[in-house]
Structure 1
Amino acid sequence: MTANFPRKIPALGLFILLNSIVYKPLKAQVPARPPIIPQVIPRDIQPPSSAPLPTPQPPQSPQPQEILPPSNLSPNLEEQFPDTTKETFTVKRFEVLGGTVFSQQELDKVLKEFINRPITLDDLYQARQKITDLYISKDYISCGAYIPPQKIWSGIVKIQIVETKLRDIEIEGTQRLNKSYIRSRIAAGNNGPLNQQRLLKSLQLLKLNPLIENLSANLQPGNIPGQIKLVVEVVEARTFNAQMILDNTRSPSIGSFQRRIQVNEANLLGLGDSLSLGYSNTDGSNFFYGSYTLPLNSKNGTLSFNYGTGNSGVIEHPFDTLNIKSASRYYELTFRQPMFQSPTEELTLGLTASRRESEANYAPLGEQIPFPQLGANDQGKTRVSALRFFQEWITRGSTQVFAVRSQFNLGLDAFNATVNQDAPDSRFFSWQGQVQWLRLLAPDTLLLFGFNTQLATRSLVPLEQFSLGGIESVRGYRQDLLLADNGIFASAEVQVPVLRISKTNGILQLIPFTDFGVVWNNSGSTIANTNSPNILASIGLGLRWSQNANFSARLDYGIPVVSVDQPNQTWQENGLYFYLQYNNF
């Protein structure tokens, strides 16, 4: 009894301290699961599998003439027939040889007007020209038909088709990028007879590749009849990038002012593989993270490994007296494979195997003991093993971009994951959906709409919960103000240019916005009226300055529409958010 007494006092003191500042409406919503605990121990930096969809870039698509100028590659097909143009004969059937693109039925349809009637040699030339025109109409610009020397027996005429193929791809101008990276992506969609549109699609996709600044190509006759050579001139993009970021996007409990530095190399070994390393710091936290992505195939399939680790201490009054410390880490292995790609559309499937770990303790009386987190074991540790299956679709037009992401998360009892008698623990199933829509209203004038949602079948540990409040959620409230099992978030903003400075290529945009979100737990009832604390809403105004590709700054001021009890000690809690990013310092 005496040995346990020191542990009971801190727990009781913690309970009294938490309840002295708990957000009362939230407590009323789910008495058994007040969201204050996740706010004391802030959510860790989220791994890539949980990151929101990035803001899509304004529409851009390279013009076909800029990449592949028109070429006259019609095959030189010699035909030798005696001068008997006035003589007539009757064809009962055409025997078309060497064709693989069109079926016999398609060819018969083109040639039917020349069958079973008297025709001349000129008509015969027209018949084979009909076949050549059919190929050209389907963008097989270097394919054609001719009539070989023959004697016409029993009314049967042979027509020979020549289908030229892309046999040689010559890459010029590369520095570090392996030529096979470019060559394989062109050849992947151009194995059969040369089709101009398919080739152009492959080149446009390469032009959109961030590893390539610019490219141009031209077709040339090959050394062997029926073969074509493609010469591609490439200008590689700069692949190394260093960023310094200052913002106030972290939870005030560990210090909202965040300093970040990140270095990225998009072509580490010349394979198109990328490496990213970063470090972030607040007054109460330190976090290291890194990722490596390796291309697997010519269809842009990749394998990525992500790792992050960090520690934090609560510095916000009055919780700082509890000496709360926490540590966390994540590991992720992701396979991502585009199933369909074009310059304007992409459909991708992927699977992530993830592991998240966190532990927390506190020492109100000097002795370190486990902190009572939701879902943690008796040592204050939470371990989550999960498989995450995601689907992504993006379509680009001349004035808009539309992106959708869906992800199914299956928590597993594997690799010593946390398993409790009652939920929450590592066993769960949830679905996340995200939508981004960008509309170009005028030059540099954008309408942006975002939507996020999460639905879970059971209670979730804080690592997996849906968050409301903060710069990427409902602005005007502190970061991660509400955490719950399920949630919906919607946001809309308009970016309007108000100042341009051509000398520095700078632009200032005014950004009115509105945010709305609602959350609810599986263990409690949903409160639907607008004054309930599980709903957050705000309106606001932002300013964004961007200069070349090197510097950008943004300032947002959000005005809460739904009032909640929260401290007003930081800019963030007063609705003010800033973000400064400098590249290539």
Structure 2
Amino acid sequence: MLDREGAWGLFYSVSSEEPDYYIRSRLENVTRTPLNQQTLQNGLALLQLDPLIKTIQAELTPGSTDGKSVLLVNLEEAKALSVEVSTDNYRPPNIGSYEGTIALSHGNVLGWGDKFSGEYSITEGLNLYNLHYNLPINPMDGRIGLHYWNTDSKITETLFNIFDIRNQTETLGVEYRQPIYRTLQTEWTLGLNLDIRNNRSSLEGVSFCFSQPCIDGKTNLTVLRFSQEWLNRTPNQVFAARSQLNFGINAFDSTVVNIEPNQEFFSWLGQFQFVNRFSNNWLLLGRFYAQIAGDPLPIIEQFSLGGIDTVRGYAKNEIVTDNALLGSLELRIPLTQDPEVLQITSFVEGGTGWNNLLPDPDPATLGGIGLGLRWLVANGLTVRLDYGIPLVSVDNSGNSLQEQGVYFSVRYRKAF
């Protein structure tokens, strides 16, 4: 129970198991005197969007002293811990497309609204670890964080596995993300990341450079990223846009070479997405991405086309280039009274890529159409199936499901 007397005779009490500081700081942000009831209502509605809060109810009542008021806030805390296990065939076929993943997340580790997530994925030729932690530092939900990502992979395709081609990539980063304007309808956010990326490659057990910048099979990059985000939401529509400027800088033991691509580069990534819900609960989703590079890019900074997240109908990473354009439209049609239980989807997607130094891939453009199914089997258990038909032919000698345009996933998530 928290009691606080504010100016102009405002008292408020919070009844919750939530740590006092986390809620108090957010309430103080919307109960600045003189009290504005509209500001208060909007602030409480924003609190309802917080994933740590399941429900929130507030009542402003007269106090026992003349000129005083009491704000009573009751909230129910959401479950903060969740575990997810999944299997899918989303990884590149050359390292084994069939993947198993276990992931854990906690939204309130130390009681300060701090978030931790971790996952481990494995395929025939891949081990992946991904860790992330962030901490709120102000009532506007500005956050600082750390992330670590490690992939250890081996080419398992029959044609190349005799060469024992291996690759390990590590990324360690610090981040700062700050909303600068927040209402129920609109958000503007700025972000700053510093990533230190290390890549090691070998051929038949000997260090080997497959791309530049590289010395003795090693590539070290330091990348500064500045992002700007915009979000607009209504009951039936959501629009989101994101711009990110990426600067490769010569710092923290970056690999220095005198040819391109090298450790110093610039690229811009733009993303726009929307969701529109029609009166019959049909959903239309759109995604449009663009990456424009001012310099030839190291391969781990390039944009890939093909696969479940970009152009279905092709293997993941079918095209990898410095620059790229991508567009996708998907219609989801519910087949049950509850629109979330069973949906059939149709989609059309396309993308093109080009390089600044190396020859462009052939073909440089991909396009696909197809159908899909999303099924909420039970609480927490979801099944997804997609089939993409390629509109542009590519050289494809593989026989995996993904290379035939079929993608599947089975996921189970449990909150505690």
Q: Does 1:471 align with 2:320?
A: no
User: Following superposition of structure 1 onto structure 2, how do residues 242-261 of structure 1 map, counting pairs within 5 Å?
Assistant: 242-261=83-102
Give 1:510's aligned residue.
Answer: 344
Task: Check 1:244–1:320 CA distance in 2 against 1; reply closer, same or farther (3 A cut).
Answer: same
Equivalent of residue 325 in structure 2, options 482, 488, 501: 488
User: Following superposition of structure 1 onto structure 2, how do residues 257-296 of structure 1 map, counting pairs within 5 Å?
Assistant: 257-296=98-137
Whole-angstrom CA distance in 2 between matches of 1:297 and 1:443: 41
Whole-angstrom CA distance in 1 between matches of 2:51 and 2:247: 33
Give 1:72's aligned residue.
Answer: none
RMSD of equivalent CA atoms: 1.8
Q: Percent identity over the alignment?
A: 38
SS at match of 1:165: helix
Give 2:3's aligned residue.
Answer: none
Kindly indicate which of the two structures has a greater share of residues assigned to helix: 1
Whole-angstrom CA distance in 2 between matches of 1:360 and 1:525: 23
SS at match of 1:183: helix
SS at match of 1:442: coil
Q: Does 1:413 align with 2:250?
A: yes
- Kindly state the Cα deviation for residue 341 of structure 1 after the two structures are TM-superposed: 0.6
Residue by residue over 1:392-451, the C-alpha shift from the partner in whole angstroms, topping out at 9 and shown as x without a partner, is 110001210000000000111001112211111221111000011100013542000001
Give 1:563's aligned residue.
Answer: 393
- Kindly state the Cα deviation for residue 332 of structure 1 after the two structures are TM-superposed: 1.3
Whole-angstrom CA distance in 2 between matches of 1:165 and 1:205: 24
Whole-angstrom CA distance in 1 between matches of 2:64 and 2:377: 50
- Kindly state the Cα deviation for residue 318 of structure 1 after the two structures are TM-superposed: 0.7
Give 2:368's aligned residue.
Answer: 538
> AA paired with 2:354?
W
Q: Does 1:170 align with 2:4?
A: no
Give 1:352's aligned residue.
Answer: 193
Partners of 2:377 and 2:383 within 8 A in 1: no
SS at match of 1:256: coil
Greater CA radius of gyration, 1 or 2? Answer: 1
Whole-angstrom CA distance in 1 between matches of 2:360 and 2:30: 52
- Kindly state the Cα deviation for residue 224 of structure 1 after the two structures are TM-superposed: 4.2
Partners of 2:246 and 2:268 within 8 A in 1: yes
Whole-angstrom CA distance in 2 between matches of 1:526 and 1:290: 35
Give 1:522's aligned residue.
Answer: 356
Give 1:430's aligned residue.
Answer: 267
Equivalent of residue 334 in structure 1, options 151, 162, 175: 175
Partners of 1:444 and 1:497 within 8 A in 2: yes
- Kindly state the Cα deviation for residue 289 of structure 1 after the two structures are TM-superposed: 1.4
Whole-angstrom CA distance in 1 between matches of 2:126 and 2:186: 40
Q: Does 1:499 align with 2:336?
A: yes
- Kindly state the Cα deviation for residue 292 of structure 1 after the two structures are TM-superposed: 0.8
Task: Pick which of 376-385 and 459-468 moved more.
Answer: 376-385
> AA paired with 1:508?
L
SS at match of 2:341: strand
Relative contact order, CA 8 A, sep 6+: which one is greater?
1
| Runs (5+) with no aligned partner, structure 2 | 1-5
Whole-angstrom CA distance in 1 between matches of 2:55 and 2:71: 16
Q: Does 1:361 align with 2:361?
A: no
Residue by residue over 1:152-204, the C-alpha shift from the partner in whole angstroms, topping out at 9 and shown as x without a partner, is xxxxxxxxxxx9836322111x22x2122112112113322110110001100
SS at match of 2:108: coil
Whole-angstrom CA distance in 2 between matches of 1:416 and 1:314: 28
- Kindly state the Cα deviation for residue 580 of structure 1 after the two structures are TM-superposed: 1.4
Whole-angstrom CA distance in 1 between matches of 2:176 and 2:67: 39
Partners of 1:370 and 1:378 within 8 A in 2: no
SS at match of 1:184: helix
Give 1:392's aligned residue.
Answer: 229
SS at match of 2:278: strand
SS at match of 1:316: coil
Task: Check 1:180–1:378 CA distance in 2 against 1; reply closer, same or farther (3 A cut).
Answer: closer
User: Following superposition of structure 1 onto structure 2, how do residues 93-492 of structure 1 map, counting pairs within 5 Å?
Assistant: 165=8, 167-172=10-15, 174-175=16-17, 177-363=18-204, 368-492=205-329
Give 1:576's aligned residue.
Answer: 406
Partners of 1:432 and 1:453 within 8 A in 2: yes
- Kindly state the Cα deviation for residue 567 of structure 1 after the two structures are TM-superposed: 2.0
Partners of 2:237 and 2:277 within 8 A in 1: yes
SS at match of 1:202: helix
Residue by residue over 1:464-483, the C-alpha shift from the partner in whole angstroms, topping out at 9 and shown as x without a partner, is 00110010011111110111
SS at match of 2:38: helix
SS at match of 2:30: coil
Whole-angstrom CA distance in 1 between matches of 2:403 and 2:137: 45
Residue by residue over 1:369-388, the C-alpha shift from the partner in whole angstroms, topping out at 9 and shown as x without a partner, is 22232114231111110110
Kindly indicate which of the two structures has a greater share of residues assigned to strand: 2
SS at match of 2:42: helix
Partners of 1:384 and 1:425 within 8 A in 2: no
> AA paired with 1:536?
L
Task: Check 1:242–1:496 CA distance in 2 against 1; reply closer, same or farther (3 A cut).
Answer: same
Partners of 1:447 and 1:492 within 8 A in 2: yes
Whole-angstrom CA distance in 2 between matches of 1:187 and 1:376: 51
